[in-house]
Copies of this chain bind each other. A is one copy, B any other.
């Protein structure tokens, strides 16, 4: 299918965003991949993003440096906060303040420049229900904002933020991606992967991913340390 429309796709190099990119491609969008270097503890995620974007033949791939370390407040960007190995109730310490809001803002800026009205983000409200900026009502508010924020919006266009994974379980995401030939061995989800992208197997993110492959009854190709 080809629809000749351009879409910005947020690509972190993880399992969810890679599946999202596969879905956007499958819908026929010309994909512009956007990644962020926001002081993640390991760079392997960004290497994975590049490999994933290349493997999908995106039109362009940008990696934006953002100063989240200066803002702090999360285990993912502040080395003084430990990554937990056990599941926490409520909003986890791996929540990065306003992260998706910042990411979507850059996506919107690039969308304006290339004249795209579609943005894809692999948020998921099932596994990450503790993250406020992964909820459907948040995404809906962002669409309204995007339309008001932009030249295109003023001229009558409206923005669509596609969240094809939002209601899916990890197992369903993996099944969908597998049906689109996603090679999950390329992706890195672990909060503390090493330089080669090998996963710890114990953090929240690793646990969700591992269970996803089990429930989907598919072989887990993740490279563990």
The quantity of this chain's copies bound in the complex is 2
Tell me the complex Cα distance, A146–B144, Å. 13
- Residues A101 and B97 in contact in the complex (CB < 8 Å), given A135-B148, A145-B138: no
A127 beta carbon closer than 8 Å to chain B: no
Where chain A touches its partner, the secondary structure class is helix
With a CB–CB cut-off of 8 A, which chain B residues contact A149? 98, 100-101, 132-133, 138, 141
A208 beta carbon closer than 8 Å to chain B: no
With a CB–CB cut-off of 8 A, which chain B residues contact A142? 145
Task: Quote the shortest CB–CB distance from A161 to chain B (angstroms).
Answer: 12
Show the binding face of A for B, using Cβ within 8 Å: 62, 64-68, 70-73, 91, 95-102, 104-106, 108-110, 112-113, 132-133, 135, 137-138, 141-142, 144-146, 148-151, 153-154
Tell me the complex Cα distance, A52–B167, Å. 47
Task: Quote the shortest CB–CB distance from A138 to chain B (angstroms).
Answer: 4
With a CB–CB cut-off of 8 A, which chain B residues contact A108? 97-98, 101
Residue of B nearest to A153 (CB): B132
A106 touches B113 (CB 8 A): no
Tell me the complex Cα distance, A95–B150, Å. 10
With a CB–CB cut-off of 8 A, which chain B residues contact A106? 71, 98, 102
B70 touches A67 (CB 8 A): no
B91 touches A154 (CB 8 A): yes
Task: Quote the shortest CB–CB distance from A129 to chain B (angstroms).
Answer: 11
What are 11 contact pairs spanning A and B, CB under 8 A? A65-B67, A71-B109, A73-B113, A91-B151, A95-B151, A97-B112, A97-B150, A98-B106, A99-B109, A102-B109, A144-B145
